[in-house]
Amino acid sequence: MDYAAAIRDRLPAAWRGSDFSSLLSDLETYLSPADIEGVVAAYEFSAKAHEGQQRLSGEAYISHPVAVAKILAGLHLDAGSIKAALLHDVVEDTPATLHDIEVEFGDDVALLVDGVSKLDRLRFDSALEAQAESFRKMLLAMVKDLRVILVKLADRTHNMRTIDALSSAKRRAIAKETLDIYAPIANRLGIYGIKTELEDLGFKTFAPFRYRVLERAVRKARGGRQQFLNKLQTNISRNLATNGIEARMMAREKHLYSIYSKMRRKKIPLSDIADFNGLRIIVGDIDTCYRVLGLIHQLYKPMPGRFKDYIAIPRVNGYQSLHTTLFGPNGVPLEVQIRTEDMDRLAERGIAAHWQYKAVDKHTYSAEARAREWLTGLIEMQEAANSEEFLETVKVDLFPDKVYVFTPKGDIMRLPSGATAVDFAYAVHTDVGNRCVAAKIDGRLVPLKSALSNGDTVEILTARGAKPNPNWVNFVTTAKARNAIRAYLKNLTRDEARTLGRRLLEQALRPFDLSNRKLRKRWIEKVLHELGENELDRVYEQLGLGERLAPVVAALLAQQQGGDQDQAKRERKPLEIAGTEGLVVGYARCCNPIPGDEIIGFLSSGLGVVIHRTSCPNVADFRKHPTKWIPVDWQRGIKGEFQSEIQVRTMNRVGLLAEVAGRISATKSNIDHVNVETDGDASTLQFRLKVRDRGHLAQVLRSIRTNPDVLKVQRLTG
């Protein structure tokens, strides 16, 4: 009598014919009797906890954890994962606690259950935040134990199989989340079986009409291809046998969502999908893979540019295989995949294969190693400002269409399609990214935003004292680069805000005949206590960002001295603007102030000081908040370039725009943007340009006026 049958005899009669009995039969094929005993105990605990609960479909709730466990058993996962699958909803949906699970089944299983559990018992500001925080917790639990995500993927797979019981709106939301997050995670971990099922179920639920149309078209095309595939398979089998090669062969068909995605991405009809059908050849070792490739290229001509060697250079998720597209009989294209047994098992189960199989061939790359490499990057993503940002950056990082580039030493780097030289720099090391100033591709200097292509050799040039450019965030594609730039700029903004805040407080203290150096320690401590802060640097930062008003803080400090508060009404000496204050001093787009203009500063919360011209129309509105205005002036000898806008009214003549632009360039002013509007015989040209000061702008205007076809030129005020 087999062991699983003996256990079934001990179970209550209602359980013997259930799905749990089938689960035991699956587990018996690879788990020890002691492990199966532990699984039975987990089932009994879960069944008792969920007793009386039903799913929306009307089934007993315990059917869901058992189904999740069966999916994991199909991947041959270990006993701990199976127990966690049976218990994964206990903490969330029953009175049982995580401590109860820890006592009964140990820390290992409790950690897995905690990682999968949602955070429904906490309060969040929005549904998005709840989803993002739950996802964040799960991913960070993955860093400790990869089995967390395997349980979650199985949970999502069964939920998608039974999604019809939900409302239409919930179905679409869950399907979108599945396509955006969970299917890409399965792909990233190399679990092809779950990935394809999640994609097809998500596609069917999210776009049911498109799914039905494509399914009918594929079914219709399938019939005519079968005879063609049989003939091809026979020819290749005969040829391999003649050359003494043993191989297992199977026909494969691209799944619906993959076909749909390719049609959308390349904007092509179904008839143009070359790898719609294919053939998979599985052999004993890597050497035989390349021998088979040579033999089938002798039988059928390969399609140029369609060969991919994923054995020498595996995909980011560890997938390995040779791919080639052949011109089959009558010129019909056919994709052939050639791989070893280990590669085939890893392609189907990815990281899940790690718990049951070890690669026989030492050259077979570990899917687990690839996953660990990715998860290491997740730790850096924790620097994201909030849960929603973390979720978005992970989404970006989940789509692994990769380019393979080389370091100057010949090492291979894998980056997302569209990655730039800056992404490469941050992939090498965060410090390299922060200090990069230029890049070379194949020995040629290129802009840092240049997109990389397969086979490029990339060299990054760095400089001491260099720092990230805020504009890099607009073109980098990797989450690591984006988060590193944001983290650096966040710290940089704080430093600049503290510097500006110190200057603002210095200025506000002058009417009280005080300065930062004259402040006594006890005064500062008393005011910090009153403000609810622990350190003066934090107050400086708040002042610089406009979150506190410098005159108010100065008055509080002056009170400690016993000074006359009426002195605060004295005229304040203007704050001098140097033009190098970075992110905490901004220049209003409504009036574009430049050195030489009379200016005034507005304290804007979170933005620091925004500089306006005193003649700006918005100043009248802002003056309703007099405490937020501060006198400012340009520092003597200020350097830099400042934005200004001019309007030029001209005769409508061919080539005149180029002439006006040439005169602007001759004054060493850069043009950022130009807009042209034509009205009969006249045209209006509007330029946004960079100038040093009012004198430089006057030079630009004089130069344009010398053109006889220019009717009028003026500076725009906003």
Which residues form the catalytic set? 92-93
**Half-sphere exposure (CA, 13 Å, Cβ side) for 181?**
23
Phi-psi region of 678 (alpha: psi -120 to 50; beta: other; left: phi over 0): beta
Instruction: Name the strand (E) or helix (H) holding 576.
Output: strand 575-577
Q: Of 456, 391, 563, 545, give the one whose Cα is nearest residue 554.
A: 563
3-state secondary structure of 431: helix
φ, ψ for residue 162 (rounded to 5)? Answer: -115, 25
Q: Which residues, 6 or more positions from 456, have their beta carbon under 8 angstroms from its beta carbon?
A: 403, 405, 406, 441, 442
Looking at residue 106, its amino acid is G
| Contact predicate 672/643, CB 8 Å | yes
Its sign, for the CA torsion 335, 340, 341, 346, is: negative
Which one-letter DSSP state was computed for residue 7?
Answer: H
- The length of the chain, given as a count of residues: 718
d(CA 654, CA 300): 59
CA-nearest of 402, 404, 370 to 478 is 402
- Starting at the edge strand found earlier in the chain, the sheet holding 436-441 runs 444-446, 436-441, 458-462
Radius of gyration of the chain (CA): 34
Q: Tokens 């009153």 belong to which residue?
A: 530
CB contact burial 350-369 (16+ within 10 A = b; e otherwise): bbbbbbeeebeeeebbbbbe
208 touches 163 (CB < 8 A): no
DSSP strands (E only) in 591-641: 599-604, 608-613, 629-634
Closest residue by Cα to residue 131 from 170, 90, 104: 170
Contact 510, 558 (CB under 8 A): no
Residue 252: strand pairing partners = 278
d(CA 530, CA 525): 9
How many C-beta atoms lie closer than 10 Å to residue 79's C-beta? 20
| Residue with the two structure tokens 């840092």 | 448
Are 458 and 440 contacting, i.e. CB atoms less than 8 angstroms apart?
yes
Rounded to whole angstroms, how far apart are CA atoms 483 and 191?
Answer: 27
Amino acid, res. 609: V
* CA atoms in the 13 A half-sphere facing the CB of 218: 19
Question: Residues 282, 341: contact at Cβ < 8 Å?
Answer: yes
| 638 close to 595: Cβ distance less than 8 angstroms | yes
Give the distance, in angstroms, between the CA of residue 477 and the centroid of all CA atoms in the same chain: 8
* 8 Å CB contact between 455 and 406: yes
